[in-house]
Amino acid sequence: MFPHVDSDLLKSVAEISSSTRTESKSEAGRLSSGISTRTSVEIAGLLYDGFGLDEAAEVTVYPQFSDDGGLESERTYVKQLVQKYVSDGSSEDLFNEDEISDADYGTLILPSYETIDDEGGEQDTDDSDTDDSSETDDSPTMYTLELTLEAVIDGSTVDLPYSTSDGQGTDLDASWLINGQPVNSYYYSEEFEAGTSVEVEVVVDSYPSAEYGFNGWAFPDTASQVQNNPRTFIMNNDKSKTAQVGIAF
């Protein structure tokens, strides 16, 4: 989904998310809930924008967990888990109560970007009249289409595939059709030439077949677009979309 993000970082995000879900399901677990698929995608997006794993976690993960209990709180547990993947070899005593109480997770400072030349210095702007016709880049403009599938059950996001715990054997899974071709993955990312028309369809696999269905495209799509399935995207910019499946309406 994020091809330019280091694969080791994406692996760390997946392992952290999986660890929190496992801990939350344990009888003696220290967490009341795990990191959702949507939060994992948000972390990957911040990594793609140049943030570190620890910075992304401060914005998207830590605020979801309570700091009640100080060093025994859910937030401290998650911070220690994340720190295993960003440790710089400093003291293992990672946090104290003052650091936890003083933490501020409400401000996201976006990095500034400067154009640099091949030697590492700032690139000067040349306003002189020059003939650049010999250096024209004839390569086509490409835009990225990123798609995410998620299930929403009783107002909460759950992982796919989904099965109920009531013993009735109700199951839910979903996949993509991209320009008529099946893509058996919940995450999809591909570059297309500018102006390309891409038809996307969400295919729901449900047992019983009428139990679940396509619920729509997640915010911020407009009301006229929410229920479109299949849906056609015209690639005139980068697009990141999330489709939701769940209880059939």
Domains in the chain with CATH codes: 7-102 (no CATH), 142-247 (2.60.40)
Answer whether residue 94 shows pLDDT above 50. Answer: no
Please state, in angstroms and rounded to a whole number, the distance separating the CA atoms of residues 145 and 237: 9
Q: Give pLDDT, residue 100.
A: 46
Q: Are the C-beta atoms of 213 and 173 separated by less than 8 Å?
A: no
Answer whether residue 47 shows pLDDT above 80. Answer: yes
Q: Give pLDDT, residue 210.
A: 75
Q: Give pLDDT, residue 81.
A: 92
Please state, in angstroms and rounded to a whole number, the distance separating the CA atoms of residues 213 and 202: 9
**pLDDT-derived band at 198, boundaries 50, 70, 90:** very high
Q: Are the C-beta atoms of 77 and 31 separated by less than 8 Å?
A: yes
**pLDDT-derived band at 226, boundaries 50, 70, 90:** confident
Q: Are the C-beta atoms of 213 and 245 separated by less than 8 Å?
A: yes
Omega of the bond leading into 111 within 30 degrees of 0 (cis): no
Q: Which of 66-70, 119-123, 199-203 has the lowest mean pLDDT?
A: 119-123
Answer whether residue 79 shows pLDDT above 90. Answer: yes
Q: Give pLDDT, residue 142.
A: 93
Q: Give pLDDT, residue 156.
A: 83
